[in-house]
Structure formats: C-alpha cells, structure tokens
Amino acid sequence: MTTRADKPTDSYMTAVKIIDSNASPSQLFRAKHPAIKTRTGAVENKKRNEIERQKRATTDTCMIKIREAGKMESEKKRKETR
C-alpha cells in the first residue's frame, strides 16, 4: 500500500538508480524534478515570459506617454505664468 509519504521516496529511488548508472547532470535534474521531463514545460515558460515581457513593454510605453504629457502641461503652465 502506497501513501503520499511514500511517493517522494519513490522519486528519490529513481534518482539513485540514475546516479548509479553514471548519468548526465540533466538526467539527474529531471529525475529529481519529474515535472520537467518534457520540453512542453520549457515551451510554456517561454510563452509565459513573452507575455510578461509584452505587458511590461506596454506599461512602460504608457508611463512614458504619461510623463511626456505631464512635461507638456508643466511647460504650458510655466509659459502662462511668465
């Protein structure tokens, strides 16, 4: 009977088996982190990073426009006070 407590030891045993067979570092990493066994995780991360980068870019351009508008208003006020 396997319980939730037994499952981490199972993944540890697979890592130990791979260590015994002189595996590459990437194989050891995949054995310790079973969620990253396929390339789909990397592709999803790439997509997520791209979306985050686009969000940052749009917010940066909006902030620049807001700053420029603020500068224009302050220049108008300066000219009016003179």
pTM here?
Answer: 0.32
Q: What is the pLDDT along the chain (82 residues), one digit of tens a residue?
A: 444 554 555 555 555 554 555 667 776 676 666 665 556 667 778 888 888 888 887 777 777 888 888 888 888 888 887 7
Q: Establish how many alpha carbons lie within 13 A of residue 7's alpha carbon, considering only the half-sphere containing its beta carbon.
A: 4
HEC assignment per residue over the chain: CCCCCHHHHHHHHHHHHHHHCCCCHHHHHHHHCHHHCCCHHHHHHHHHHHHHHHHHHHHHHHHHHHHHHHHHHHHHHHHHHC
Q: Nearest Cα to 51, choosing from 61, 59, 63, 62?
A: 59
